[in-house]
Amino acid sequence: MRRRVLLLVGATTSLVLVAFLLPLALLIRDVAADRAVQAATVRAQSLSALVATTDAAALSLSVRQVDTDATVFLADGSTLGATARRTSLVELAFRGTSATGDVPGGREIVFAVAGPTGTIGVIRTFVPDARLTAGVDRAWLLLVGLAVALLAVSLVVADRLARSLVRATISLAAVSHRLARGELDARADPDAPGEIGVVATALNGLAGRIADLLREERETIADLSHRVRTPLMALRLDAEALGDPADADRIGAGVDAVQRAVTQVIEQARRRGVDPAGGCDAAEVVRERVAFWLVLAEDTDRGVGVDVPEGPLPVAVAKADLEAGVDALLGNVFAHTPDGTDFRVALLAREDGGARLEVADAGPGTDAAAVRRGSSGSGSSGLGLDIVRRTAEQAGGGLRIGPSEHGGLLVTVDLGPPP
């Protein structure tokens, strides 16, 4: 913007200066030429009376004293004063017509001197080009200097104005970037020049409204702790009342997992700004979550294939987020396939870092529309695959859905390496 303002002001000022100074320069040139011609004319006319009343010897001396560039052509053909040829203007003057004309090197002026019997002589004077343009070059130089000074002043003023506009615009953009990063306390300067101040005021209002909405959302999500505490406590008591200790421990572990998930959601909702995602060992997380779901797989007569390497596979996903993603994928297998359907979980290291998680089943399969948030064909919330997709994208990867080798569903999740 700054460069464009300078170009606009420079072009406008240049046009104005050209439109004003060019005619003025031509006028100065014409005035200088008219002044030189007028002075020569006055000197030549002063010789008219001498031509009519003075003899040739005295007239020759007077001509040289009055104007060294003047020449007197007499009717008898003699010439007095400066040496000059008999031009067409001189011949015209002998016929009684005084005239002025441009000749090589300057301007020629002739006057006819009339006597009792007709024209008795012609006075010719010559004004050289140097005298016609005397002082013009200096005047033009002054005009050029004035134009440069005016242009420089206009550019300096325009630069000051453009700098204030650019500074306000950059500041406004910086505030918008800070808001995009989650710094909701960032505010623009409403006193910025012109319309930028209006935009800054509107942006501040929008930031305040977003902060209010997020605050309300955080408080609403935080209220879940009070709403789910009583049902979870009842489930825990029911689990402890079971006769089989193994079932009691398993249900109690599930209740603890729900409690941890709810607590994590509440903590994330109460955090201000955007926290870095962190990282975790994908092999450890996948191994732990598969072990958790193996108990349910045995109860539903499902065959489980597990291919998880021993070594650590660091990925750019927080442990809790990856746990939630793996649980969503395995939960979909149990929710959308009939009992007895086999599935396979594989974790592979990617060549460019990170890991690739594959969950394949031998069920009826589904279409790619299931990845859309809220889309479900079995009465669930439809958020499982979308949660996995967002987790993968935040880690610099992605999610793909396709058919498995057994005709069921294959979900491939790419997770990028930690920075």
Place of tokens 């209010």: 212
pLDDT band at 274 (very low <50, low <70, confident <90, very high): very low
Residues 6+ apart with CB under 8 A from 89: 99, 100, 101, 108, 110, 124
How far is 255 from 42, CA to CA, in rounded Å?
Answer: 120
Place of tokens 């997380």: 285
Q: How many CA atoms lie within 13 A of 233 on its CB side?
A: 6
Beta-sheet pairing, 343-349 with 304-307: parallel
Give the pLDDT confidence score for residue 369 in this predicted structure.
Answer: 45
Residues 6+ apart with CB under 8 A from 324: 261, 387, 391
Rounded to 5 degrees, what angle do the CA atoms 27, 31, 34 make?
A: 140
How far is 117 from 289, CA to CA, in rounded Å?
Answer: 136
Tell me which H or E stretch contains 79: strand 79-81
| Amino acid code (one letter) for 12 | T
Nearest to 312 by CA among 281, 351, 288: 281
With 90 as the cut, is the pLDDT of residue 141 above it? yes
The encoded tokens of residue 340 equal 């007895």
SS3 label, residue 123: strand
Could you report the per-residue pLDDT of 326-346, keeping only the tens digit for each? Answer: 988 998 888 888 889 999 999
DSSP 342-375: -EEEEEEE-TTSSEEEEEEE-S----GGGGSTT-
Could you report the per-residue pLDDT of 160-198, keeping only the tens digit for each? Answer: 888 777 788 888 888 888 888 878 888 888 888 778 889
With b meaning 16 or more CB within 10 Å and e meaning fewer, what string describes 226-254? Answer: eeeeeeeeebbeebeeeeeeeebebbbeb
DSSP state of 316: S
Give the pLDDT confidence score for residue 271 in this predicted structure.
Answer: 55
Query: What is the residue-averaged pLDDT of the chain?
Result: 82
Q: At residue 239, what are phi and psi to the nearest 5 degrees?
A: -65, -40
